[in-house]
Amino acid sequence: MENLSLNDPPPSSPQRQPNAVLPGVPSQGPPQLPPQMFTTAAQLLDLTDKKLLLVLRDGRKIFGILRSWDQFANLVLTETRERYFVSIPGSTSTDALSATASKDAPTLSANTSLSTSTLPRNMYCDIPRGTYLVRGENVLLLGEVDLDRDDDPPPGYELGDVEEVFRLHRAIELEKKRKDKIRARKIGQLWGGEIEGSGEVLF
Amino acid sequence: MLFFSFFKTLTQQTVTVELKNDISIRGTLKSVDQYLNIKLDDIVVLDELKYPHLSSVKNVFIRGSVVRYVHLPPDKVDRGLLEDACRREAMAQKGKAA
């Protein structure tokens, strides 16, 4: 990799034009910043070896330390923990949910656990996952964790039992998948033929 | 490359980025690159309760491919200039093709 630092002068171009794309127009804002500031490398360089939150396109949230990356945002994270969030709505809506679930799919036993609680509850849990190598196209965003706020639980959420949160999360995912499948089938009937990629849940 | 340059002129402005999974994140535009990956500082998530995972995050790198919209401050966008530049680039492309 090139060893550029942000303080280096721009590459030896003959006296940079004020604005390459909008010629003849004085550029606004802070255009005097060196061009190597505006590369993927520069953006990710600041985040290297820091504790980050990685959100994937399938909705997974992974906390870990960024160790390596390239221009496509292919990433390596170490010491990762995957964080699961579940929201259990209050009694009225849970009944509605389990009622529809049992009407549509009587065998969906995973959902019965949702109706046992009556108060709305928001829980999260962390599960250690080791090292991740992520292909760039699956990356949604990377956030730098504020270490001062890292130990606080997310507002409105409490740390739940790993087993329980994991089970509820899975039940909710299954339910979502089932609904998506029904929707895809209906769309397929309307438009003729399945839409490409409609079987999997993206984002 | 037009929009890359355009976004470069908007650094340090407060923008709202709406992602394809419906999260909206507001923050200061720090940097942008050739893929229109975006770096935001001091972020606020609209509808935070629905997206609790970003509560302890101060700045984000968003991959350009997952951005749906970028909401810009209207007074910071010179539309005439942008239209002009667009025509210029279109002309250049035409010249290259011919």
* Cβ contacts of A80 on chain B, cutoff 8 Å: none
CB contact under 8 A, A22 and B85: yes
Q: Are A108 and A144 in contact (CB under 8 A)?
A: no
A153 by DSSP, 3-state: which? coil
DSSP assignment letter at A10: P
Every domain of chain B and the residues it spans? 1-97
Locate A93 and state its tokens: 């809506």
CA-based nearest residue in chain A for residue B32: A38
Judge whether A40 is closer than 8 Å to chain B, CB to CB.
Answer: yes
CA–CA separation, A177 vs A174, rounded Å?
5
- Residue B59 zone, left/alpha/beta (φ > 0; ψ -120 to 50; rest): beta
Per-residue pLDDT band for A195 (boundaries 50, 70, 90) equals low
Of A145, A152, A155, the CB nearest to B57: A145
pLDDT at A106 over 50: no
B32 by DSSP, 3-state: which? strand
* Cβ contacts of B77 on chain A, cutoff 8 Å: none
Q: How far is A175 from chain B (nearest CA, A)?
A: 18
- Structural domain range at position A142: 40-89+120-191
Domain of A127: which CATH number? 2.30.30.100
Q: Identify residues of B whose CB sits under 8 angstroms from chain A CBs.
A: 1-2, 4-5, 8-13, 19-21, 25, 31-35, 37, 39, 43, 48-49, 52-63, 65-66, 78, 81, 84-85, 88-89
**Is A114 among the domain residues?**
no
- pLDDT for res A105: 44
Number of domains present in the structure of chain A: 1
Lowest mean per-residue pLDDT among A52-66, A84-98, A159-173, B43-57: A84-98
Class of domain B1-97: mainly beta
Mind listing the pLDDT tens digit for each residue in A30-79?
Answer: 556 677 778 888 899 999 999 999 999 988 999 999 999 998 899 999 99
Per-residue pLDDT band for A83 (boundaries 50, 70, 90) equals very high
A28 by DSSP, 3-state: which? coil
Judge whether A122 is closer than 8 Å to chain B, CB to CB.
Answer: yes
**Is A132 among the domain residues?**
yes
Q: How does the average pLDDT of chain A come out, rounded? A: 76
Q: What is the pTM of this model?
A: 0.73
* Cβ contacts of A40 on chain B, cutoff 8 Å: 33-35, 37
**Is A79 among the domain residues?**
yes
Q: ipTM for the complex?
A: 0.85
A26: number of Cβ within 10 Å: 8
Which among A120, A98, A73, A122 has a CA at the least distance from the CA of A171?
A98
CB contact under 8 A, B52 and A156: yes
**Is A55 among the domain residues?**
yes
pLDDT at A147 over 60: yes
